[in-house]
Structures are given as structure tokens and as C-alpha cells.
């Protein structure tokens, strides 16, 4: 039964002539799990917000949105608490200072009596694994717990539809898997209709009933996940979206009777089938070489030595005897679970936070711990995780009035007329990175730089950042994006419980990790031991196909 439908939906933002949605039509069956994807700026977030009138953006709209056959924008439509929305950033959604109060907030607005609220809150806390923090301050929760809380605060009102806008973009891989698991349970066990926008497809696509692909505000694909390969492999910028299992199928499939694998388990079976059918010998020569550390003779750009930090005297240390040394011209990716201390370390490196113990060196010289006490910090530019914090004007054009945009290594002209609040998460991130680069930093500190950015645009960003690094810029990026780190870093480090646990080249780092690694590594570890990126995998496949063909020709 159809629960939601758009018919020839058009939309454009104020003071713009170009439509961001054009004659957009699609329908969703009750209980379906719909995965939405598309490039940064393809209007995914706009579409999601138009499906919920209370969040509808300002602008010119035409066409209809039907909920149970009724125009969702009509006075007769009663959608109170029947459609829930989960934002990319839980900080924008959480309104209470206590976990219990946050879970009860929506129910109180529905005028439910206090005893029923108590029962519902306790039930949802148990179901979501939040019972142990029910009395905690929301500000003390990790990013993963905050996003679960945001979802639970909507689920407690028992909505028919859940709309989610890139909810895992700020979560570490383990927290992201936990979030998706809960989301799938809500769909399977309670029949809640799910419409989710995501750039990370590998852990969601196996659960989707249908995949909706947007391109320039239009619906270009809407079908089952197993059919996505045939459509997207011929569009390079969308091919980058595909999980490694689907890329594998697209590159080697010679057997139409074999279904396109969507999970790592099925991908391994398909890879094993391919290796056997092509008679490929599994030798170490068929894997990329393990990495070696970058040039050890270079001086350090900055050092954090034996740093200890806590936010209040009464709280435990966030960082304890933490040491991190970054070489000049190095690209270092700092990884770890939510609340492990990554962002805190980044802020200390930029002089934004002051540790109570330890030393900071820049260019080999000790500096005062606070930014205002040392001009040395002026060569460091920090970009926060929340890109919206860097904007202070009404339009992007005003943000860049003082800068020469011709010096930018990528184009942001399409966003000039927009208000920063109207940008998608990925668009805001690109503009924030542009603003940071135009300040010509010697050292660039990035907190989740790929947040909200689609995989194809990520390739452009990686190209830009690596060129800047080659030109001498030192880059430290905090990231949960294993694929990004594997592609661009000289070294990766993992922080655990406020201490550095492991530092190594990306190939060694991810090849030695079992759980905290890339999807390509999970797929290929039993066959090509040192493969860590999709590019590695495709090179191995191409190389082995050639070797297999040469061997066959030799026998003939």
C-alpha cells in the first residue's frame, strides 16, 4: 500500500532562478526501506525536508506531496508525530540537557499523561541501549550515543515514516553499524517506513528495498539494489558511490546468472568464484606491497608531547600522556571511536584548547600552550567538524568578498547566491574548506573533512589536498572515513581512551586491523592480503585478468 508519493514536485530557493528539484516524482510503499543517494548538491536534503512540512525550506514550490493520498501541505493533513526526521548532526536536534527529558520531550508536546510518558521512555531506553545513561547530561554523550538518542526521541512517538539525512556521517564505523542495525530492526520488526539519504552505501545497501538516485534534482534511478550496477557503472561520478562488492561485479562479471553481490559475505563468494573460474594463483605477488614509513629525515611541523587534558577538574582526563608528532609536509589521519579524544587533540594542536600538562612544539620550538600567547599558531588554520560555524554572512558571496576565488583549486561558484543555512551538508563542507585554503595555511587541521561529501567529490578533494601536501602544506585530519584515510594519508594513527595506540602507513595500518578497516580490505583479505582500497582491488583484478589471458594464450 502506498504511504508517500510526490507528483511533479518542483522547488527553487529564494533569489535564485534555477530549480533544485524538477518534476520530481516517486512513491514509497508502506514498510519499505528506501536508500537515497546522489552527488553533493543533488537536492537530497531539500527533498527530505519537503516531505515534512514543518521543516520545509523557504522558496517556491509546485507539485504535490501525498501522505496516505492526502496533500501533506493541506489543512486537512494530520501528520503530527506520524513522520519523524533525524538530522545529520544530532546537536541540531537535541533540545534537552538530560537524556530522560530528551526522550520525553516529544511525548509531552503530544499531551500524553506523565505515567504513560514514563513507561514509554523506559521502554525505548531499554530497546535502544540507553538505560545506563538515562540520567546523564546529553552533553556528556559520545557522538554515537547522541545520534542514537536523536533516533530514539523520534521512535518513542511511534512514527509511520522515518526520514534520515546522512545520520552516520559523523559516526565511527562501529557506531555507524550499531545505528544501522537499530534502524533495520525498526523497519523489520515494527514496519516503520524508512527513507534515508547516505553517502556510505556499503553497510546500508544490503538492507534497502529500493535505491533512489538523484541527479541535478531529478529522479534518474529508482529500483532494487541488485539492479543499480547496470545503471551506475556507466556514470563515472556515480560509479564511485558503489560498494566494493558491486564494483567487483561490474569489473569482472561474465556470468549473468550470478546475482550482483551486495554484502561482504556474498562478495567473498563471488570473488572466490571468479578466482577459480579464471584460474588465478593466489600468491603474494598478486598483492600490493606493504607500505614503508614516510621520509624519516624531515623535521616536525608540530609536536604534542605528553599532553593531558580534561574539560573540568571534576571530570576524568580526555587525553592522558598523549603524544603526536607530525612531520613537515605530511598528511596524517587521526582515527578512533567517537569520544576517544580526536577532536580534543586537534583543538589543542590549533591552540584552541589549553592542556594542563605537556608541551607543544611548532617548527621544533616550544610555544606557550594558548594561541593568543604565540604567533606561531598563526600559521595553523583549523576547520571545525560543524562547517556552519565558519559562516557569518547571509550569502556565500559575502563570505568570500575579501578573497581571490581564482586561487581556489576547485569551483564553488554554484553556491554564491545561497544563504549558508540553505546549503546541504556537503556543500557547506566544501565552502568551509575553500575558506580555510584561501587563508594559505602552513598547517591545516581538518575535523571530519569528508562529512556530507559524496564519494566522487571526495576524489576531487583528495586530489586537491594531496597536491597541497606535495607543495609543502602539513595536514592533520581527524576522520572516521577509513576509505579517505587509506587513499590520502602518509600515516594513520588510532587513539584509544585518550592515548595514541598505533601509528603506521595506511597499508600497514588497515591490513593489520580486522574490524577497524576499509570495506575493500574486508572483501579481499583472504585473497589479496594487502589490498585496502577500491583502486587496489580493481588494479589487482585487471592485472590478474591480463595474466590469466596471457597464460591461456600461451597454452593455445
Query: How high is the pLDDT of residue 98?
Result: 94
pLDDT band at residue 260 under the 50/70/90 scheme:
confident
Sheet of 357-362, strand order: 319-327, 300-309, 357-362, 365-367
pLDDT at 273 over 80: yes
Q: Using the 8-state DSSP alphabet, how is residue 98 labeled?
A: B
Which residue has cell 514509497? 28
Query: How high is the pLDDT of residue 547?
Result: 60
pLDDT at 436 over 70: yes
What distance in Å separates the CA atoms of residue 98 and residue 76, rounded to the nearest whole number? 35
Joined together, the cell numbers standing for residue 521 give: 580490505
Mean pLDDT over 96-105 rounds to 95
Give residue 24's Cα distance to chain centre: 26
Residue pair 147/165 in contact (Cβ under 8 Å)? The answer is no
Count of CB atoms within 10 A of residue 129's CB? Answer: 13
What distance in Å separates the CA atoms of residue 276 and residue 130, rounded to the nearest whole number? 47
pLDDT at 169 over 90: no
Burial class (CB in 10 A: 0-12, 13-18, 19+), 316: exposed
> Mean of the per-residue pLDDT values for the chain?
88
Query: How high is the pLDDT of residue 502?
Result: 85
Rg (CA), the chain: 24
pLDDT tens-digit readout, 177-196:
889 999 999 999 999 999 99
Q: Which domains does the chain have, with CATH numbers?
A: 2-236 (3.40.50.300), 247-290+519-555 (no CATH), 300-504 (3.40.50.300)
Residue pair 149/87 in contact (Cβ under 8 Å)? The answer is no
pLDDT at 293 over 70: no
Which ranges of 128-172 would DSSP assign to H, the alpha helix? 143-155
Mean pLDDT over 203-214 rounds to 92
Residue pair 348/447 in contact (Cβ under 8 Å)? The answer is no
Mean pLDDT over 286-295 rounds to 54
Residue pair 456/241 in contact (Cβ under 8 Å)? The answer is yes
pTM for this model (two decimals): 0.86
Instruction: Give the angle subtended at the CA of 116 by the CAs of 160 and 105, to the nearest 5°.
Output: 65
pLDDT at 246 over 90: no
Secondary structure of residue 26 in the 3-state scheme: strand
Count of CB atoms within 10 A of residue 542's CB? Answer: 12
pLDDT tens-digit readout, 360-380:
999 888 888 766 666 777 789
Crossing angle for the helix pair 114-127 and 99-109, nearest 10 degrees? 130
Secondary structure of residue 299 in the 3-state scheme: coil
pLDDT at 77 over 80: no
pLDDT tens-digit readout, 492-535:
999 998 999 889 999 999 998 888 899 999 999 988 888 999 99
Mean pLDDT over 537-556 rounds to 64
pLDDT at 240 over 50: yes
What distance in Å separates the CA atoms of residue 170 and residue 547, rounded to the nearest whole number? 42
Joined together, the cell numbers standing for residue 384 give: 571545525
Amino acid at each position: 500500500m502506498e504511504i508517500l508519493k510526490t507528483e511533479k514536485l518542483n522547488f527553487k530557493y529564494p533569489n535564485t532562478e534555477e530549480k533544485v528539484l524538477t518534476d520530481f516524482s516517486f512513491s514509497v510503499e508502506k514498510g519499505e526501506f528506501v536508500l537515497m543517494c546522489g552527488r553533493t548538491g543533488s537536492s537530497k536534503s531539500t527533498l527530505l525536508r519537503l516531505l515534512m512540512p514543518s521543516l520545509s525550506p523557504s522558496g517556491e514550490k509546485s507539485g504535490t506531496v501525498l501522505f496516505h493520498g492526502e496533500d501533506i501541505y493541506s489543512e486537512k493533513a494530520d501528520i503530527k508525530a506520524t513522520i519523524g526526521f533525524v538530522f545529520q548532526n544530532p546537536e541540531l536536534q537535541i533540545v534537552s540537557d538530560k537524556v530522560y527529558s530528551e526522550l520525553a520531550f516529544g511525548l509531552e508536546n503530544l499531551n500524553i499523561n506523565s505515567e504513560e510518558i514514563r513507561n514509554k521512555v523506559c521502554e525505548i531506553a531499554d530497546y535502544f541501549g540507553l538505560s545506563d545513561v538515562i540520567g546523564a547530561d546529553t552533553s556528556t554523550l559520545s557522538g554515537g550515543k547522541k545520534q542514537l538518542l536523536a533516533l530514539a526521541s523520534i521512535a518513542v512517538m511511534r512514527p509511520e515514516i522515518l526520514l534520515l539525512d546522512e545520520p552516520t556521517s559523523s559516526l565511527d564505523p562501529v557506531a555507524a553499524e550499531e545505528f544501522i542495525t537499530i534502524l533495520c530492526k525498526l523497519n523489520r520488526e515494527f514496519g516503520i517506513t524508512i527513507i534515508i539519504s547516505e553517502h556510505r552505501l556499503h553497510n546500508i545497501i544490503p538492507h534497502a528495498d529500493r535505491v533512489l538516485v538523484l541527479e541535478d534534482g531529478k529522479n534518474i534511478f529508482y529500483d532494487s539494489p541488485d539492479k543499480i550496477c547496470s545503471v551506475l557503472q556507466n556514470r563515472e561520478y556515480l560509479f564511485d558511490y558503489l560498494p566494493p562488492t558491486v564494483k567487483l561485479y561490474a569489473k569482472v562479471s561474465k556470468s549473468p546468472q550470478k546475482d550482483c553481490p551486495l554484502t561482504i559475505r556474498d562478495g567473498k563468494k563471488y570473488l572466490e568464484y571468479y578466482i577459480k573460474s579464471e584460474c588465478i594463483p593466489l600468491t603474494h605477488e598478486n598483492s600490493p606491497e606493504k607500505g614503508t614509513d614516510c621520509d624519516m629525515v624531515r623535521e616536525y611541523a608540530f609536536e604534542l608531547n605528553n599532553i593531558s587534558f580534561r574539560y573540568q577538574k571534576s571530570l576524568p582526563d580526555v587525553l592522558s600522556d598523549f603524544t603526536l608528532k607530525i612531520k613537515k609536509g605530511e598528511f596524517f589521519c587521526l582515527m578512533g571511536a567517537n569520544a576517544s579524544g580526536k577532536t580534543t587533540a586537534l583543538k589543542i594542536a590549533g591552540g584552541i584548547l589549553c592542556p594542563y600538562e605537556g608541551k607543544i612544539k611548532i617548527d621544533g620550538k616550544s610555544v606557550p600552550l594558548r594561541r593568543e600567547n604565540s604567533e606561531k599558531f598563526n600559521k595553523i588554520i583549523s576547520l571545525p567538524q560543524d562547517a556552519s560555524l565558519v559562516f557569518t554572512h547571509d550569502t556565500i558571496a559575502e563570505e568570500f568578498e575579501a578573497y581571490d576565488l581564482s586561487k581556489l583549486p576547485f569551483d564553488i561558484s554554484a553556491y554564491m547566491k545561497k544563504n549558508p543555512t540553505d546549503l546541504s551538508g556537503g556543500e557547506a563542507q566544501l565552502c568551509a574548506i575553500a575558506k580555510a585554503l584561501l587563508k594559505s595555511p602552513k598547517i591545516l587541521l581538518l575535523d571530519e573533512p569528508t562529512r556530507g561529501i559524496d564519494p566522487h567529490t571526495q576524489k576531487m578533494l583528495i586530489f586537491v589536498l594531496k597536491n597541497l601536501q606535495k607543495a609543502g602544506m602539513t595536514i592533520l585530519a581527524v576522520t572516521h572515513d577509513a576509505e579517505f584515510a587509506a587513499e590520502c594519508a602518509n600515516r594513520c594513527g588510532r587513539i584509544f581512551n585518550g592515548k595514541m595506540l598505533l601509528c603506521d602507513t595506511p597499508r600497514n595500518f588497515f591490513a593489520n586491523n580486522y574490524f577497524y578497516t576499509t570495506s575493500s580490505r574486508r572483501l579481499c583479505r583472504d585473497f589479496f592480503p594487502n589490498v585496502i582500497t577500491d583502486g587496489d582491488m580493481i588494479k589487482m583484478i585487471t592485472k590478474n585478468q591480463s595474466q590469466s589471458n596471457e597464460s591461456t594464450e600461451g597454452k593455445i
